[in-house]
Amino acid sequence: MSTPWLFLDMNAFFASVEQQENPALRGVPTIVVPTLADTTCAIAASYEAKRFGIRTGTGVREAKALCPGLRIVDARTGVYRRYHKAIVDLLNQRFATIRVLSVDEMACRLSPLLRETPEEIGRLVKADIRANLGDCLTCSVGVAPNIFLAKVASEMEKPDGLVVLRDEDIPERLYGLNLRDLPGIGRKMLTRLQVNRIMTVKDLYDASYPDLKSATGSVVGKRWWFMLRGSQEVDYGAEAEAPRQSIGHSHVLPPRLRDRPGATSVLLRLLSKALRRMRSYGQAASSLNIYIQYVRPGSAQRARHSAKHSWHAHIVQSPADDDLKWFRAAREQLRDMEYPEPGFVPLLVGVTLGQLCDFEDVTLSLFDRTTKLHALSAAVDRLNARFPNGVDLASVYWLRRQGPDPISFGASLLKEDHDLLTP
């Protein structure tokens, strides 16, 4: 197997970190939530909790009913980032090429000069993590000709598994999997494939290049055709290189922030993070969508009421990427925020920057301050990359104490860390 990839998937990462940090949680069903409230959901569940049918996305109220002895832990972003960095540091000691795909997933290229077999390397990586971070931190490891197949291999044995797929194992060893076992095939994509008479992994593998492109309705089919055959030219994660059409964040408000000032503060905090992400991609936005979902406290029909009661604002202006211009526009809309009727409070808030384009393609006016504001925001971003969350607009700096730090499984939240940690 020439230059294979090792895929590392941390098992129940946030929950495992909490169990490592707090011995009282070890062996106990535990979930991690973004805020301590029954209206939110689990963002991670320990394997003890999973045995009761609790998964990521399970509502807290439902989780309590499934497991009366459940322990619920408030998420701690900084702690998870620290463990994430420690894992990447360990990988840097063994591998020259590392791709950080998310907060709990990394891919490492195995050098042909290594003396150890892929199985031995996998066991060494698992031992490194346990020895340096603790026995609660386990991972599933897959090794295969490319990142896509290595990820598939890592899913074959969970938790704490180790699976190696060699060239001679492909495609036969994949045929025992379901289509939903492959990355990128959700319910909608599964329906598209089934409509095109692709019912099994074998059907997917046997489909021609044009048929796959037609079935998926996008270049995804092209990528799958190559990735299933072990190609490294087109591989898992390539979707991230496609031009982004929008960037957004949303957050469930903790009970103490379910009022107008709380919703406003968190929305502006989310907007700040979205703008920082957008600038890191070298893009500018022409539109902003603000969304607030309301709920009646104590209502037995919470979900039904929330679906019917929401507030939207849509803002369109000339392309810009700076905080000052978008904050001014957002504040004007938020001043007009209306509650649907007495007795409702904001529960979920979100922002989305849309109509994205490359900043270098923006036509600038001689009479506006776009260039100067862009330079100012870029300078602040560089300072924050060196001193995390050290600088912000004076008018919103205080919001850091009010708006919680969102947690993301994707790599975007950690981008500034990746630049320092990966070769």
CATH of the domain at 234: 3.30.70.270
- Of 56, 133, 140, which is closest to residue 104 (Cα–Cα)? 140
pLDDT at 335 over 60: yes
Is 181 domain-assigned?
A: no
Least confident of 3-7, 120-124, 275-279, 362-366: 362-366
User: Quick one: pLDDT at residue 243?
Assistant: 59
What's the total number of domains in the chain?
A: 2
Do 32 and 123 have their domain in common?
yes
User: Quick one: pLDDT at residue 145?
Assistant: 93
Last residue of a domain, one of 242, 274, 300: 242
pTM higher than 0.75, yes or no? no
Report pLDDT digits (tens) over 275-323.
988 888 888 889 999 999 888 776 544 444 444 588 888 988 888 888 8
- What token pair was written down for 147? 């990142």
Do 234 and 312 have their domain in common?
no
Going by pLDDT thresholds of 50, 70 and 90, the confidence category of residue 392 is low
User: Quick one: pLDDT at residue 190?
Assistant: 92
pLDDT at 402 over 90: no
User: How far is the C-alpha of 103 from the C-alpha of 410, rounded, in Å?
Assistant: 6
Mean pLDDT, rounded, of the chain: 82
Last residue of a domain, one of 242, 277, 292: 242
Which residues partner with 349 through β-bridges?
251, 292
pLDDT at 423 over 50: no
User: Quick one: pLDDT at residue 237?
Assistant: 63
Least confident of 108-117, 227-236, 237-246, 306-315: 237-246
**3-class secondary-structure state, position 8:** strand
Do 258 and 388 have their domain in common?
yes
In contact, 69 and 28? CB cutoff 8 Å: yes
Going by pLDDT thresholds of 50, 70 and 90, the confidence category of residue 198 is very high
Do 2 and 17 have their domain in common?
yes
Last residue of a domain, one of 196, 220, 242: 242
Other beta carbons less than 10 A from residue 224's beta carbon: 24
Q: Who has greater pLDDT, 317 or 341?
A: 317
Do 34 and 114 have their domain in common?
yes
Is 215 domain-assigned?
A: no
Strand residue runs (E) in 355-414: 357-358
Report pLDDT digits (tens) over 238-274.
544 455 778 888 888 888 888 888 888 888 889 988 9
Going by pLDDT thresholds of 50, 70 and 90, the confidence category of residue 411 is very low
Do 312 and 403 have their domain in common?
yes
User: Quick one: pLDDT at residue 135?
Assistant: 95
Least confident of 44-48, 121-125, 232-236: 232-236
Other beta carbons less than 10 A from residue 69's beta carbon: 10
Do 413 and 264 have their domain in common?
yes
User: Quick one: pLDDT at residue 261?
Assistant: 85
Residues of the domain holding 109 = 1-170+230-242
Is 314 domain-assigned?
A: yes
CATH of the domain at 408: 3.30.1490.100
Going by pLDDT thresholds of 50, 70 and 90, the confidence category of residue 415 is very low
Is 208 domain-assigned?
A: no
Going by pLDDT thresholds of 50, 70 and 90, the confidence category of residue 350 is very high
Report pLDDT digits (tens) over 30-68.
999 988 888 888 999 999 999 999 998 899 999 999 999
Q: Who has greater pLDDT, 193 or 339?
A: 193
Do 234 and 283 have their domain in common?
no
- Of 35, 412, 47, which is closest to residue 249 (Cα–Cα)? 412
Do 319 and 272 have their domain in common?
yes
User: Quick one: pLDDT at residue 184?
Assistant: 84
Q: Who has greater pLDDT, 347 or 342?
A: 347
User: Quick one: pLDDT at residue 421?
Assistant: 29
Report pLDDT digits (tens) over 356-380.
888 776 655 544 555 666 677 777 7
In percent, how much of the chain has pLDDT > 70?
80
Average pLDDT of span 142-149: 94
Is 379 domain-assigned?
A: yes
User: Quick one: pLDDT at residue 32?
Assistant: 95
In percent, how much of the chain has pLDDT > 90?
42
User: Quick one: pLDDT at residue 107?
Assistant: 94
Is 114 domain-assigned?
A: yes
Contacts 24+ apart (CB under 8 A), 312-316: 313/288, 313/289, 313/337, 314/287, 314/288, 314/289, 314/290, 315/287, 315/288, 315/289, 315/290, 316/286, 316/287, 316/355
